């Protein structure tokens, strides 16, 4: 019996996270997850900045699903202030989200292939992803944090040549997603590493309240897009659901969602309404008092924002719950009973994004204060060190 | 004699660098990349540049590791892989050290290589190393048996443990036509021995961060990589000599161009191994063990039985 720490710095994880594994030989008997290595205090920063400034900070929360965060925040503020978004802007916003889902899923497929050890497939997926990033760059101006979304719609309009390029891209992705599906279903070595690995049964998935593609791979048909925000209440699409709940099913769900995204994009480009793309907002205007929530389906699952305003130019409280936080407990649960070689595959299987996940967690223990003055904190520190 | 030996060692080291370059270039082409390009003509000096860079890095050794054992086993590892080259013919019929049982000597040196790798692993004490060495020894136990049986099968047919005799025997046909199973098994075993892609279980960087290599740095890492390259070259040459007819050519028979024919066959083997290693997903250690003990070993034994039956009735 040995205890092996996996992380915080480990080649299997692109971002810091720690798994304490109890091993018997190569067999994992117990796993414990520790998070919080990349806490950046973004929620607090959001309270210091005005509601217009935070729109550019919100997309820095995640490097991959940047516009999902931005869109979720903007959607919440629109609900709070009563700004009615322009229809064309909403369509372009939805287009950005779907392009982002494509690039995120392709990135994840590449990471999974890398964890399994097929470097060639990693190169292929990331090469395809590069084409999506090129379009996103033309749409927003940057490759990763494209700032494509603003109040009342989108920041930049689509030109005719860009629309042609987007149609070509979605045809290309449709073709490639067939290739990936074929690979995921038929490659023997890939199946040997992913079939039956990290299986999360439907009941367990419901109990652990997982979200997004992880839940859909376990047979739970949840998708926030089906609640019908933005252009999704008009766009026709089907929720991809698989039954097995293992890493292979997760990969299949994402490969099929590439196809779904490409079809949604084609529909949006075809039915793009004319008109304005955003609403002008006075720079230092005050927010009305109140609170609201906002949900979008980020590439990794349900993204949740809680916004509270007290009537000033700044928001009083911003609470962000990212999909990774909902899914990370499922990893610690499914790791038990697998080999050490499966740990990176299972951990990568939920598409973790530690950077977005880390929030401050305050435990309400009995007899302990939550807020400390400086001298109290120093006393506490001295006592803590004397004890240890 | 000594000068010749030194020349031969330098030749082998240069060839092993060339081999690594070719391997990296093929892998890059498969993955739609460019590969090494700038150092030397078409990047041909890149492996040598990497080697030099590694040598001049700081040697970091942890206090808990047995540093004497790690130095000794690194040197033995390099020496054993170079020593093996003296017993194997490259493009001619005769190796540098030519005596009656040089295939047997090669097999001993091939086995000793694994022993030194194990020794090196045990000199290190980190938790990743412990897991890596455990995996490596399981892998050694798995591939060693089928590999040695498949190396001995041609010599059983020819009735000699001498490379020259076996190559001469293949004057009119290569032996892999007779023994396709053991040919494939020996190729897979080479990949397991050198920890190439589907069998890179002991050093799987996404699982155990480099495994038994993760604490080794500087000249030790450079020597181990060099030893691994030389071992790849020599083991592939052994397969060419035993199964593909060495320097024989079946289309344009010629006495003088043996080296050229040998090189083409060697490149074919390298190409095959690189192609396999770049398209397959990594095995798990239990899958490695079951691959070699459930499929490879019984199949090589079946090949052996077939050989005995043929010999009995002919």
Res B314 pLDDT > 80: no
Q: What is the pLDDT of residue A182?
A: 92
Q: Going by C-beta distance under 8 Å and a sequence separation of 6 or more, which residues neighbour residue B208?
A: A340, B128, B131, B132, B135, B214
Q: What is the pLDDT of residue B117?
A: 84
Q: What is the pLDDT of residue A368?
A: 63
> Between B209, B278, B287, which is nearest A119 by CB?
B278
Res B10 pLDDT > 70: yes
Chain A residues in contact with B207 (beta carbon < 8 A): 12, 340-341, 343-344
What is the tally of structural domains in chain A? 1
Q: Average of pLDDT values for B59-79?
A: 86
Q: Average of pLDDT values for B220-238?
A: 90
| A319: three-class secondary structure by DSSP | strand
- Measured CA to CA, the distance from residue A103 to residue B298 in angstroms comes to 46
**Element (DSSP H or E) covering residue A302:** strand A301-309
Chain B residues in contact with A25 (beta carbon < 8 A): 134
Q: Going by C-beta distance under 8 Å and a sequence separation of 6 or more, which residues neighbour residue A101?
A: A257, A261, A299
For the entire predicted model, the pTM comes to 0.85
CA A354 to chain centre: 10
Q: What are phi and psi of A4, to 5 degrees?
A: -115, 125
**Element (DSSP H or E) covering residue B110:** helix B102-122
CATH of residue A75's domain is 1.10.645.10
Residue B289 or B202, more confident: B289
Q: What is the pLDDT of residue A360?
A: 61
Residue B127 or A95, more confident: A95
Domain boundaries, given as residue ranges, for chain B:
62-313
- Measured CA to CA, the distance from residue A183 to residue A172 in angstroms comes to 17
Low-confidence ranges of chain A (pLDDT < 70): 1, 359-371, 388
Q: Indicate yes or no: CB of B30 within 8 angstroms of CB of A118.
A: no
- Measured CA to CA, the distance from residue A212 to residue A300 in angstroms comes to 6
Res B205 pLDDT > 80: no
Domain range for A210 is: 42-322
Q: Is A388 within a domain?
A: no
Res B7 pLDDT > 80: yes
Residue A134 or B160, more confident: A134
Q: Indicate yes or no: CB of B284 within 8 angstroms of CB of A2.
A: no
Q: Is A369 within a domain?
A: no
Q: Indicate yes or no: CB of B281 within 8 angstroms of CB of A116.
A: yes
**Which of B129, B132, B199, B280 to mutate to probe the A interface, most A CBs <10 Å?**
B280
- CB count in 10 Å sphere of residue A49: 17
Q: For A361-375, B29-43, B108-122, which range has the lowest pLDDT when averaged over its residues?
A: A361-375
Q: Find the distance separating the first CA and the last CA of chain A, reported in whole Å.
A: 26
Q: pLDDT class for B96, splitting at 50, 70, 90?
A: confident
Q: What is the pLDDT of residue A164?
A: 92
Q: Is A387 within a domain?
A: no
- Measured CA to CA, the distance from residue A140 to residue A71 in angstroms comes to 14
Chain A residues in contact with B134 (beta carbon < 8 A): 25-26
Chain B residues in contact with A118 (beta carbon < 8 A): 279-282
Res B255 pLDDT > 70: no
Give the closest-approach CA distance of A119 to chain B in angstroms. Answer: 7
């Amino acid at each position: 019996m040995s205890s092996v720490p996996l992380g915080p710095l480990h080649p299997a994880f692109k971002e810091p996270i720690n798994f304490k594994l109890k091993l018997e030989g190569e067999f994992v008997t117990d796993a414990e997850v520790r998070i919080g290595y990349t806490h950046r205090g973004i929620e607090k920063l959001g309270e210091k900045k005005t509601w217009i400034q935070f729109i550019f900070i919100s997309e820095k929360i995640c490097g991959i699903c940047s516009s999902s965060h931005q869109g979720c925040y903007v959607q919440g503020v629109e609900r709070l202030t009563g700004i009615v978004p322009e229809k064309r802007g909403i369509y372009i916003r939805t287009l950005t989200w779907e392009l982002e889902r494509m690039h995120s899923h392709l990135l994840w497929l590449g990471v999974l292939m890398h964890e399994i050890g097929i470097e060639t497939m990693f190169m292929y997926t990331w090469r395809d992803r590069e084409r999506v990033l090129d379009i996103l760059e033309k749409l927003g101006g940057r490759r990763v944090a494209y700032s494509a979304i603003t109040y009342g719609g989108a920041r930049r309009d689509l030109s005719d040549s860009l629309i042609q390029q987007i149609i070509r891209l979605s045809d290309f992705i449709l073709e490639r997603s067939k290739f990936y599906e074929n690979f995921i279903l038929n490659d023997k070595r890939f199946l040997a590493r992913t079939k039956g690995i990290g299986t999360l049964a439907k009941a367990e998935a419901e109990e652990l309240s997982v979200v997004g593609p992880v839940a859909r791979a376990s047979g739970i048909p949840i998708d926030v897009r089906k609640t019908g925000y933005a252009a999704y209440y008009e766009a026709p699409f089907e929720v991809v659901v698989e039954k097995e709940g293992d890493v292979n099913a997760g990969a299949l769900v994402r490969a099929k969602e590439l196809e779904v995204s490409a079809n949604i994009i084609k529909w949006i480009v075809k039915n793009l309404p004319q008109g304005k793309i955003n609403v002008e907002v006075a720079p230092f205007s005050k927010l009305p008092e109140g609170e609201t929530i906002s949900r979008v389906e980020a590439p990794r699952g349900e993204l949740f924002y809680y916004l509270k305003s007290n009537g000033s130019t700044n928001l009083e409280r911003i609470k962000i719950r990212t999909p990774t936080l909902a899914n990370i407990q499922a990893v610690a649960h499914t790791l038990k009973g697998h080999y050490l070689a499966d740990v990176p595959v299972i951990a990568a299987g939920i598409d973790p994004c530690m950077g977005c996940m880390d929030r401050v967690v305050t435990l309400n223990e009995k007899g302990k204060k939550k807020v400390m003055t400086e001298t109290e904190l120093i006393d506490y520190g001295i006592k803590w060190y004397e004890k240890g | 004699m000594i000068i010749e030996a030194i020349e031969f060692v330098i030749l082998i080291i240069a060839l092993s660098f060339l081999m690594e370059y070719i391997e990296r270039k093929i892998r890059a082409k498969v993955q739609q990349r460019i590969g090494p390009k700038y150092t030397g003509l078409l990047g041909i000096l890149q492996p040598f540049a990497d080697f030099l860079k590694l040598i001049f890095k700081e040697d970091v050794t942890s206090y808990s590791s047995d540093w004497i054992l790690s130095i000794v086993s690194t040197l033995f590892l390099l020496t054993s892989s170079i020593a093996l080259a003296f017993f194997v013919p490259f493009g001619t019929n005769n190796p540098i050290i030519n005596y009656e049982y040089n295939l047997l000597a090669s097999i001993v040196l091939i086995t000793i290589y694994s022993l030194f790798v194990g020794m090196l692993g045990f000199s290190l004490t980190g938790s990743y190393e412990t897991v890596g060495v455990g995996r490596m020894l399981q892998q050694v136990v798995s591939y060693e048996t089928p590999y040695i049986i498949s190396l001995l099968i041609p010599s059983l047919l020819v009735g000699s443990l001498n490379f020259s005799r076996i190559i001469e025997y293949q004057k009119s046909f290569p032996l892999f036509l007779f023994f396709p199973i053991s040919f494939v098994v020996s190729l897979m075993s080479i990949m397991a021995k050198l920890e190439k892609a589907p069998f890179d279980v002991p050093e799987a960087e996404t699982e155990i961060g480099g495994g038994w290599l993760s604490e080794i740095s500087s000249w030790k890492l450079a020597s181990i990589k060099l030893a691994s390259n030389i071992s790849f070259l020599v083991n592939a040459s052994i397969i060419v000599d035993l199964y593909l007819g060495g320097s024989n050519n079946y289309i344009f028979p010629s006495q003088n161009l043996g080296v050229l024919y040998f090189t083409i066959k060697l490149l074919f083997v390298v190409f095959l191994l690189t192609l396999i290693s770049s398209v397959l997903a990594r095995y798990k250690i239990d899958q490695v063990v079951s691959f070699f003990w459930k499929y490879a070993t019984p199949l090589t034994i079946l090949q052996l039985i077939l050989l005995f039956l043929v010999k009995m009735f002919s």
